[in-house]
A and B are shown apart, each in its own frame.
Chain A
């Protein structure tokens, strides 16, 4: 075989190897998909359902609670003077809380009365407390221990009595009336409420908030009681 032909073959083979190498180096056989994400702290308060108003004379629920809807209840407690013969006028407002983190439920309240004397209805005359806390249903973190900073149902005998000196009925339990909540004050706190479940899961922690007034010889007038609940994830 002529020497020139051998040389030609060697050059041709070398060129082919180079072309193949370039083709191989340009070929992509792997790829990546990188995703980042966040799970933020989430706390939520909603209505736990319909309000229960008892012991009222006149009055009624003006805007009722609707389960799983924002809490915006409006209630006319009716007559709170001595013409109301009932032991207490009580409103029970169901609350529903949900969180993916430890939570704190605080409350602030104002009581505005048209009266001008010490006999007018004041914050201390409006009993308050949180009732039995329920963590029930699929997806709710249970068992878990929630801390109720109130004394519970303010109408319980242990939570109030007539002042032996003044004769005025007083709610005496710890954080058992609205005077304890002139500024935002913790009413309840606890650990994570919900397990890792979709938001469409409607369960949560439910607790009734009790408000009670003992009908008495209050100074006549009109009274507005305003309460704001706030839940936070500290």
Chain B
């Protein structure tokens, strides 16, 4: 009798162990987290800071540039007729570019209100150029290609009619009546945080030689820059 009871107890114990073992085998022992993401093309144009206006007679900076804010500069160039005895009225506008991809900076411009005779100020009388420097070490390596000849006040001469001509191709707003590339290059920023201050900063220079233009009380010159990812 005693042997019979012992046998039953042993059987129950074994059964319990098997049940526990089976339960342990079916418990969750791993987990996974799956994330998806993307990195989009990023190109950005902002003001690089305050503009510099020189050679003006009666002009002024109405809305100045502020570093790292959208570029929306407004400047009165003042008198562009012969009563302005300066060699050039020159405006230097700092641009700030950032990207994680190759970029292209385009510009389109217009001149209005200057008159329509041969002696009126025209878009070809407004010199333009970019003067980028070599990239500093804190930017991604690479060379930027400047489509302009640089500072428009360098070089230039009078033509057979005595009118001032800016030197080189793409050196006046006449080349940008329709949108055209002014600068392009490879990725600008290294892998840095979005709030990093590193950027490609370069001045855009606009210049007018005061001449015996037709009188015009309200000339408007507009240049719009757009940066796109290549």
Tell whether A pairs with B.
yes
Which residues of chain A have C-beta atoms less than 8 A from B164's C-beta? 197-198
| Contact call B212/A28, Cβ cutoff below 8 A | no
User: Which residues of chain A come closer than 8 Å to B43, judged between CB atoms?
Assistant: 27, 29
Give the residue name and chain of the B residue nearest to A12 (CB).
B35
The answer to whether the Cβ of A32 comes within 8 Å of any Cβ in the partner chain is yes
Q: Is B189 an interface residue (CB 8 A)?
A: no
Interface residue B208 (Cβ < 8 Å from any Cβ of A): yes
Question: How many residues on the A side are at the interface (Cβ–Cβ under 8 A)?
Answer: 43
CA distance A153 to B57 in the complex (A): 41
Beta-carbon nearest neighbor of A192 in chain B = B119
Q: Which residues of the partner chain A approach B194 to less than 8 Å between Cβ atoms?
A: 23
Chain A residues in 8 Å Cβ range of B119: 100, 141, 192, 195-196
Given contacts A34-B222, A37-B221, A197-B158, contact A29 B228 (CB under 8 A): yes
- Contact call A138/B212, Cβ cutoff below 8 A: no
- Chain A: minimal CB distance from B123 (Å): 12
B105 to chain A, nearest CB (A): 10
Whether A25 is near chain B, meaning CB under 8 Å from some CB there, is: no
Residues of A close to B42: CB separation below 8 A: 23, 27
Bound CA span A201–B163, Å: 9
Does A13 lie at the interface of the complex (its beta carbon under 8 Å from any beta carbon of B)? yes
**A39-B158 contact given A28-B71, A32-B225, A100-B82, CB 8 Å threshold:** no
Contacts of A20 in B (CB 8 A): 38, 40
CB-CB under 8 A for A100 and B75, given A12-B35, A29-B44, A31-B47: no
> In chain A between 1 and 37, which residues have their CB closer than 8 angstroms to a CB of chain B?
5, 8-9, 12-13, 16, 20, 23-24, 27-37
Interface residue ranges of B159-189 to A (CB < 8 Å):
160-164
A198 surroundings in chain B (CB, below 8 A): 82, 158, 162, 164, 209-212
Cβ of B45 < 8 Å from any Cβ of A? Answer: yes
How would you classify the secondary structure of chain A's contact residues: helix, strand, loop or mixed?
A: mixed
Given contacts A29-B43, A38-B218, contact A201 B162 (CB under 8 A): yes
Known: A33-B206, A33-B222, A33-B223. A196 touches B71 (CB 8 A): no
Q: Is B95 an interface residue (CB 8 A)?
A: yes
B70 → chain A closest CB, angstroms: 5
From B34, B36, B214, B220, A39 is in contact (CB under 8 Å) with B214
**Nearest B-chain residue to A137, judged by Cβ:** B162
A40: which B residues are within 8 A, CB to CB?
Answer: 79, 81, 83, 215, 217
Q: Is B46 an interface residue (CB 8 A)?
A: yes
Q: Shortest Cβ distance from B34 into chain A, in angstroms? A: 7
Report 5 cross-chain contacts, Cβ distance below 8 Å, ordered by A residue.
Answer: A20-B38, A32-B224, A35-B222, A38-B78, A138-B158
Given contact pairs A37-B80, A38-B218, A195-B161, enumerate 4 new A-B contacts (beta carbons under 8 Å).
A28-B44, A32-B72, A37-B219, A201-B212
